[in-house]
Amino acid sequence: DSGVTQTPKHLITATGQRVTLRCSPRSGDLSVYWYQQSLDQGLQFLIQYYNGEERAKGNILERFSAQQFPDLHSELNLSSLELGDSALYFCASSSHRESYEQYFGPGTRLTVT
């Protein structure tokens, strides 16, 4: 158990809808990262938050947004969903110290029909 929790585990929704994925980092970790894993692909970095502030942005679509709350949990909002958004979405966290290792949650599997 990495200590990172994600809800829900599975999500099935229709095209055009909006969903929210939730992540709670390990206790004490200030950095939260979101990654997307599509079929047969590696993990693609979407966005990073550090202590409530956006720190880095990857290949995140404009239809997607995220935030980190004062209690350090994070939410990833996906809107106007398309079939191609079906994927595994992972959240990871890392220590506030200089730390390369990231600890991953179990992921949310999103299926858009």
Partner 1 sequence: DQQVKQNSPSLSVQEGRISILNCDYTNSMFDYFLWYKKYPAEGPTFLISISSIKDKNEDGRFTVFLNKSAKHLSLHIVPSQPGDSAVYFCAASVGSGNTPLVFGKGTRLSVIA
Binding residues (CB under 8 A) for partner 1: these are 2, 4, 31, 33, 35, 40-45, 48, 50, 55-56, 58, 90, 92, 94-107
Shortest distance in whole angstroms from residue 15 CB to partner 1: 25
Where do we find the tokens 């829900």?
8
Two tokens at 112?
């858009």
Q: Which is nearer to partner 1, 16 or 58 (CB)?
A: 58
Cβ contacts of 48 within 8 Å, gap of 6 or more: 31, 32, 33, 34, 54, 55, 56, 57
Q: Which is nearer to partner 1, 81 or 103 (CB)?
A: 103
Q: Which is nearer to partner 1, 19 or 91 (CB)?
A: 91
Shortest distance in whole angstroms from residue 30 CB to partner 1: 8
Shortest distance in whole angstroms from residue 39 CB to partner 1: 11
Q: Which is nearer to partner 1, 85 or 102 (CB)?
A: 102
Output the CA angle 101-102-108, nearest 5 degrees: 160
106: burial class by Cβ within 10 Å (0-12, 13-18, 19+)?
A: middle
Two tokens at 70?
């004062």
Shortest distance in whole angstroms from residue 40 CB to partner 1: 7
